[in-house]
Copies of this chain bind each other. A is one copy, B any other.
Amino acid sequence: MRGRLGVGVDTGGTFTKIVAVTPTGRAVRERQIPTEAEAGPGPFVRRVAAAVGELERELGRRARGIGLGLAGDVDSARGRLRFSPNLRRFSGYPLRDALARATGRKVLVENDANMAAWGGYVVELKRRARNVVAVSMGTGIGGGLVLDGRLYHGSTGSAAELGHTRVDDGGERCNCGARGCVEAYAGSYGIVRTALRLIRGRSSLIKGLCPDLRRLEPRLIAEAAAQGDAAAREVWEETGRRLGLAITNAVYLLNPDVVLIVGGVSRAGRLILDPVERVLRRQPFRTPFSHVQVRIARTPNLGAVGAGLLALESLRAERR
């Protein structure tokens, strides 16, 4: 008995990661294909199916189920994407059914941050925490909730949109059109905007590391901060303070064991964690705040790993 395998697919705007995972979340094989979203969902489904087939041939094993994660408003009950700014042509297409037909496998479609939350719950927390709030930091801020040990979807599958909770009514403009969402400060474009404001008319290492400021990205601001640049440190301080407020609100509502920060921008590590923790420590309600732990996830490709794990989980639940 060599154990079951699940396949997880994490669909990004540019690249799509595909991994085969064991029930404990070990990635045994992975590949990456271009998403080519502009070609539409039909060709995308065919290329994913082909890549899954190749992965299985290399492994000499067949996977049980496939989890497909996508950034956006996912209708997981019907297996389609309602809307996504980066995958516009995929909206309304029956992704689940098409991929199931193309592969002959059970397919589950889910928001990518939900997938990452499930991956974190199983791999990083070993299912030992009952309630987990995952915060994904990338261009945007996403979220995923594991409540009482199960992925929480909400009533229309739109839960955990932590990025659009408001931290400053009437504040900075968010990509969603509203003002003052935490994403407008802690999404990568918000972090860059803060940096451009803070370095204006001031000497900063950021300018040396990135002579063309139109190409500035959080990675470079983290590098400048690590080298002791004052402006760069202020950027992370402000980012963490805003993110800390959104996390504070989530802790008041959900009283989780763990807040797990995932996604590319979370590699800034303590630069984010320190100011977030300072905000949480200041809260007068001690019980939920002294209980909760804030952590940065360390597993690579957590979204894809979680997608594969969730596919296995859903098959297991069906057999019960």
Q: What is the interface of chain A, defined by CB distance below 8 A to chain B?
A: 73, 82, 129-131, 143, 145, 147-148, 150, 152-162, 164-169, 176-178, 245, 248-250, 252-257, 282-285, 287-288, 291-292
Bound Cα distance from A143 to B157, whole angstroms = 22
Asked if A167 and B166 sit within 8 Å, CB to CB, the answer is yes
Closest residue of chain B to A176, judged by CB?
B284
With A155-B131, A164-B285 already in contact, the answer to whether A253 and B250 are too (CB < 8 A) is: yes
A139 to B: closest C-beta gap in Å: 17
Asked if B252 and A165 sit within 8 Å, CB to CB, the answer is yes
Contact of A249 among B73, B165, B256 (CB under 8 A): B165
Bound Cα distance from A312 to B168, whole angstroms = 43
With A73-B287, A178-B284, A283-B178 already in contact, the answer to whether A255 and B148 are too (CB < 8 A) is: no
Across the interface, which residues of B come within 8 angstroms of A291, CB to CB?
155-156, 158
Across the interface, which residues of B come within 8 angstroms of A257, CB to CB?
155
7 A–B pairs (Cβ distance < 8 Å), ordered by A: A154-B288, A157-B255, A160-B253, A162-B252, A166-B248, A249-B249, A250-B253
Asked if A161 and B288 sit within 8 Å, CB to CB, the answer is yes
Across the interface, which residues of B come within 8 angstroms of A165, CB to CB?
248-249, 252-253
